[in-house]
Each structure stands twice: as C-alpha cells, then as structure tokens.
Chain A
Amino acid sequence: MNFIQMIIPLNITKTISDWISSIMPETAANYTIMVVIAVAYLVLFAVAGLYLVLLERKVAAWFQLRIGPNRVGPWGLLQTMADALKLVSKELTSTIKIDKFLYNLAPYFVIVAALMAMAVFPFSKQFQAFDINIGVFFLIAISSIGVIGILLAGWSSNNKFALIGAMRSGLQTISYELSVGLSILTMVLLTGSLQLSEIVEAQRTGGWLILQGHVPSIIAFMIFMIAGTAETNRAPFDLVEAESELGAGFHTEYSGMKFAYFFLAEFINMFIISSIAVVLFFGGWLSPFGITDNITWFPEVIWFIIKVVGLIFLMMWFRWTFPRLRVDQLLTLEWKYLLPLNLMNLMLMAIIIWLNWTI
C-alpha cells in the first residue's frame, strides 16, 4: 500500500487505487495500478504531443504572417486531432525491398524511448510516477535510445536518402549527447543529487539554479539548449530530415501511423528537453519568488507547464528563424567549441562550489 501511495497520492487516484486493492490481492493490485498509470500517461502524452504540434503550427503561422489552422474546432483546436485520426486510418504502405522486421520495429524504438522518459518527470511534488534516485541519469540514458530507432529506420528502408539521414542522425546524436551530459553534470555538481525531486527542492531556499551557479549556470543553460535542440533533430540542426536536401530523411518511406510515431516522438522529445531544462535551471514546479507558496489549493503543476511551454516556444523560435547548418559545421560546433567550453565550464563550477561561492 505504501508503494501505491508513493506513486500518486492525489485524491482521485487514491480512491481508485483503494478500490482496486480492495477487490483483488495485493500483488495483482500493484500490477493493475501500474498498467492504469501507464495507460493514463500514454494518453496524456499523446494528447500533449498533439497539442504541441498545434502550438508549433500556430507559432509558425505567427512568425510567417499567416493565421494557422483555424477551421477545425474553435481556433483550430481540433485540427491535430483530425490529423491524427487521418493518420490512424491511413493504409501503411511500404516498398518491396525493405527489411520488414527492422522497418516495423524502428518507429516503436523512437516512440517508446520518448515515452519512457516521461516516467520520471516531476510535474509537481505529488505528480511524479517514478521518483528514482538516479532520475537525471535515467533521462540521459533513455533519450539516447531513440537514435537506434532512427538508424534502424534509415537502414531498413533501403532508400539512399533515408540512409544518409540516418547516418547524419547517428553522428549528430552521439556528438551532442556529450554536451547535454556535461551541461547537466555541471548542474548536478551544484545540487549534489541525481534525484529530480531533490534537485527541485534544493531550489526552494536558494533560488533557481540558473541564479545559484552564477555565470557557469547560464553558460550551461545555453549549451544545454543548443545541444538539446540538436538532440531532438530540430532546426537549425534538422539535417536528419533536411527536406531541401534529402526529401524527408530517415522517415521518407514511412506512412500512416508509423510516420506519426516519428512525428509525435519529435514533439515529445522537445517536451523532454524543455522539462529537463526547467527542472535543472528554472526550479521545476516551484513558483517564481514563492508567490503561490501559501496558496495550498494552487496546483504547482501549472508553473511547471508554463515554464516548459516557454522553453518550447524558444525552441520553435529557433526553428522558424535560423537556416540549417551543414553537417561538417555541425560537428565543428560541437567538438571545437561546445565541448571545450563545456569542460571549462565544469571546472569553473567545481571551483565555485569548492570555494563555496554559491548563493
């Protein structure tokens, strides 16, 4: 019972969990509840992903002197739902000379990796499915699995454009993984913990970590956002898809729901990167200056969502204003500039902590 209450002790969920454990033995009840939570998360993030697509289309429209989707539902709110329905009902076409097993497996790698990362997210103090003590490490590990799916997709499609896209994805993700990891490590030095809930709680007294760590934190945030954008394969680092060069890159040969998995995974990955940034730099669910600390009924998750959407907007801003980098420039940026800067930054942060100069 403790285990269940630790997972989600919100009132409604508690009632449900009590009811489930009253009608079946404890072990069975635990598994049932896990499945229920998993399904709830799946639905939540599928919907979140869809609305991020809509947000992207609206933001793109604002940047491009357009209106954006406004016909399906009020302000086009149901547009992406309709798109998803269309994609679900579409026939799955493929070419003859594909590697069938890998071709079918690839989209699941990408989407499952994206969804797994969601498990450890601290939306608020109570709203966290799985609060493990290596949360940050888990996130980095999971987020690099997705690239296997992209490589498989490119390889098994038996399409040269897809293969080029997949190979670019491989070198891009492996390179920028370093920067993501090192910039996170810089912040972990400051908190001394890998557990996401503890990282957030550490910011309740001392202020957000981006302020606590002086300049190194700000540099770490910038590097994290650059590398995070590269990790999610979004412009200006969208060489993987690079429509003017490769058509659609690694998912050229995919259609229907399998294509939708890749598409949705991109947006969920964007959500993941922004969430990590919010937890590590902007105090997670904590309100700015503690303005809602005394209001007990105020759902803290709202602050989390606001901050995440703010950072997602930043990433969309990048996408709709910058041209694309070339593949050699991409690697130069990482190995010649970001990585040395990151290592120096890590040293600087260590010195600051050693001298106890944090706020």
Chain B
Amino acid sequence: MTDQQVQNKIKTEEYFINMGPQHPAAHGVLRLILTIDGEIIKNVEPDLGYIHRSIEKMCERDSYQQIVHLTDRMDYLSSHINNEAVCLTVEKGLEIEVSDRVKVIRTIIAELTRIASHCLWWGVMGMDLGALTTYFYAFRDREMINDIFEETCGARLTMNYNVPGGLMFDIHPNFVKRTKDFIAQFKTKIPEYNRLLTDNVIFHKRTKGVGILTREDAISFGVSGPVARGSGFSSDVRKHHPYSAYDRVDFKEILFTEGDTFARYQVRMMELWESVSIIEQLIDNIPEGEIKAATKAVIKLPKGEFYQRVETARGELGVYINSTGNKNPYRVKFRSPGFSNLSILNHISKDVLIADLVATMASFDFVIPDIDR
C-alpha cells in the first residue's frame, strides 16, 4: 500500500483540548484551545475573560488617588511598577516635579520588585519543565524581598506605596541595611540558580531552538520586555525613555539574538544581575528631600490626553489617561505587556509538541490578571 492508501484506511483526525482555565501550566485562568494532531499542536487559540474585572471602566469612576490602588491588581508581581506608571502619568498632567529622594526610592523598589518577579518566574519555569526544586529556592529569596516591602509599607504583594506626587511615607530606618544584606546574599544565590537549572543538559535540550520568535515578528506583534529582548529587539523603556532615576544609573540592556526559549531565559537571568547593579549604585546615596510634593486633596487633571510608559518585569506598560478636567478621568487605557506578548503565542507554537508549548509559555512569563484586566 502507498502512504496515501494507508492514510485513507486508518482515519485520523485532529482533536481539541482545553488547556485551562484550570491547568497547572497556565498559572492562572488562561484558557488555551489547542488543536492537536497526536501530540503535535496545530493551532493555539487563547480564550480570555475568566478574570476580567473591568479595571479600566472602574478607573473612570474613581479619583486619581484611587486608580493607583486598582493597578496593583493587574500585574500583581510588579505592583509597585504599575503604581508608579499611574503616578508618573498624573504627575505629568499636573506638571509636578517630584524630589530626587522619591525618584531614587521608587527606582530601588521597582528594581527589587523586578528581582522578586524574575525569581518567581525562574521557580515556575523550572516547575513547568518538571524540575520542582527550583520553586522553593526562588521563594526563599523572594521572601526576603517581601519582608523588606512589608517593613517599608506594610504590604508584601499589593504595595500601594506610591501616591501621585511622591510616596505614601518615608522608608523604614532599616530599609538601607536590609536591602544591602539582601543584595549581598542574593549575589551568591544567582550562581546557585545557574548550577541547579541553567547548566543542566536536559534544560538546554528542552529550551534551545524551541519557540523561536524572530525580531521582525516581535516588532510587528508589539512584543516587549524580556521576550522582545531575547529576539534582539531593543525595547527597554528604562533605556530609551528614562523615567524616575534610570537616567542617573549605569546599566546594560540585555539583548540576545537567538529568539528561542533559552534566549528569553538568559535575558531574565542577566537582568537579575543588572537589577542588582542598579540597586547597588543607588542604595548608598539616597538623597535627602521631600517624600511627597504638595498636591490638592482632590486632584483634577487639566483637559487633555496623557501617556506614560514604564518597563515592568514583563515588558512595556503604558498608561493612557483622557481627562475632561474633572476629578475622575474620562477614559483610562492600560497597554499591558502580557496581552501583546500573548498574541504571538499562536504564531510561534505551530507544529510543536505540547511540552514545547509549555516551555514557551513559561519563558513568556504570563500573569493572567495582567492580560485580562
């Protein structure tokens, strides 16, 4: 029999699988409708809406101080950076110049947030690939950052430390010492991470050449953050449009050109070093100054449109506020990194195995409430 005859005789068909909304690899309530031929994925269709809380609509109802609190619940792993984005936008509208002290503290905490977020991503990446131990190593170190946050502002995850015009209150007296302790300790932990996962030959086999994203695709799909930088697309907002204290620190933008899962992994691992270096440059000379610029109790932005973008741990977060001059905005739009990054998933996971899709998704570092606001 020829191949065609065999195929006619043995009838096979593609089938659907729901990966999610409850699935260990989705890290939340993301539903992927997979079309599968045997174990080979033919199509990936993300289905959103399981954790939609209409945050953008709620923002139209709230005052500008209140909006800050809602943004915690978007990308909860970079809550401080989300807060900062809204505050920067409102400050832009009010034309307030915050003090250097505020800028430096915001930057230090933002980088600590980035380290915490990348730690969690590293642990979960290992877990998705079947190495369960990574999770606990990552959480040990992340816990120390959370303790620092707790002492600083009373919250460990949804911080609400920023207010339009500055910070809610000054840093704790222990902050500098504890952060230095953490940095000193964390520098010995990154090589440990590498020994445990990065240098593993199975890990290389699972990630190299998997889920290749070209630079052109990254640009045309609006991909940002470590995912884009793994494909060689220089897109770091901190570098290209510096905000807060990023213009006074010296750091490299990590770029890899391979575009595969391993490149994205390496970008994040190297970013840990860069974040450590940024904190080290700033922590010793936090300037004195006001921690909060004077604002009115009821903030009214002038009529017009305001936009500010920041680099969260996942990529570029843009905040667009359209004001009519009232105490609450007319329209708020968040350009979240996760949503744009998710749009590329179908494009790069055609004709791969299920295990490859899981590895690719792990390297994208999705936070579902960020995709689905």
Are these two chains actual partners, yes or no?
A: yes
Q: Please give the distance in Å from B184's CB to the nearest CB on chain A.
A: 19
Q: Closest B residue to A329 by CB, please name it.
A: B205
A324 to B354, CA, bound (A): 13
Interface size class of A (residues with CB under 8 A): 20 to 34
Interface: B94 (CB within 8 A):
no
B365, chain A: closest CB distance, angstroms: 15
Contact with A along B114-149 (1 / 0, CB 8 A): 000000000000111111110111001000000000
Judge whether A322 and B137 touch: CB under 8 Å. Answer: no
Q: How many A-B residue pairs have CB under 8 A?
A: 77
B133 touches A326 (CB 8 A): no
CB of B200 within 8 Å of the partner chain = yes
| Nearest opposing residue in chain B for A248, CB measure | B24
Q: A243-B24, A322-B200 are in contact. Are A65 and B137 (CB under 8 A)?
A: yes
Q: How far is the CA of A65 from the CA of B141 in the complex (A)?
A: 12
| Contact among A64, A160, A322 with B17 in the assembled complex (CB-CB below 8 Å) | A160
* Contact bitstring A312-339, B, C-beta under 8 A = 1, else 0: 0000000011111111110000000000
With beta carbons under 8 angstroms apart, the residue of A245, A320, A325 that contacts B25 is A245
B113 to chain A, nearest CB (A): 23
Among listed A5-13, A234-242, A272-280, A295-303, interface-contacting one? A234-242
Of B127, B137, B197, B356, which contacts A326 at CB under 8 A? B356
Selected contact of B200 from candidates A63, A65, A164, A323, CB within 8 Å: A323
**In the bound complex, what is the Cα–Cα distance between A246 and B36 (angstroms)?**
13
Question: Interface residue count for B (Cβ, 8 Å)?
Answer: 30
- The majority secondary structure among interface residues of chain B is helix
**With contacts A160-B15, A326-B206 known, is A64 near B136, CB below 8 A?**
yes
* A221 in contact (CB, < 8 A): no
* Contact bitstring B202-234, A, C-beta under 8 A = 1, else 0: 110110000000000000000000000000000
CB-CB contacts of B343-373 with A at 8 A, as 1s and 0s?
0000000000111101000000000000000
B58 contacts chain A at the CB level, 8 A cutoff: no
Cβ-neighbour of B126 out of A238, A247, A323 (below 8 A): A323
Q: What separation, in Å, do the CA atoms of A66 and B353 have in the docked complex? A: 34
Residue of A nearest to B203 (CB): A323
> B24 to A324, Cβ gap below 8 A?
no
Within 8 A of A (CB), among B125-177: 126-133, 135-137, 140
B22 and chain A: residue at smallest CB distance: A247
Contact B23 A164 (CB under 8 A): no
B206 touches A244 (CB 8 A): no
State how many angstroms separate the Cβ of B204 from the closest Cβ of chain A: 10
Cβ contact within 8 Å between B136 and A65: yes
- On chain B, the residues within 8 Å of A235 by CB distance are 130
* Cβ B133 vs Cβ A321 within 8 A: yes
A323 to B204, CA, bound (A): 10
Q: What CA separation (Å) do A243 and B127 show in the bound complex?
A: 9
Taken together as a complex, chains A and B put the C-alpha atoms of A240 and B25 apart, in Å, by 16
Instruction: Name the A residues within 8 Å of B294 (CB-CB).
Output: none
Tell me the chain B residues, 1-52 only, with Cβ under 8 Å from chain A: 15, 17, 23-25, 39
Q: Which residues of A contact B (CB under 8 A)?
A: 60, 63-66, 160-161, 164, 235-236, 238-239, 242-247, 320-329
Other 10 A-B pairs with CB < 8 A, given A245-B358, A322-B202: A65-B136, A66-B136, A164-B39, A321-B196, A324-B355, A325-B205, A326-B355, A326-B356, A327-B39, A327-B355
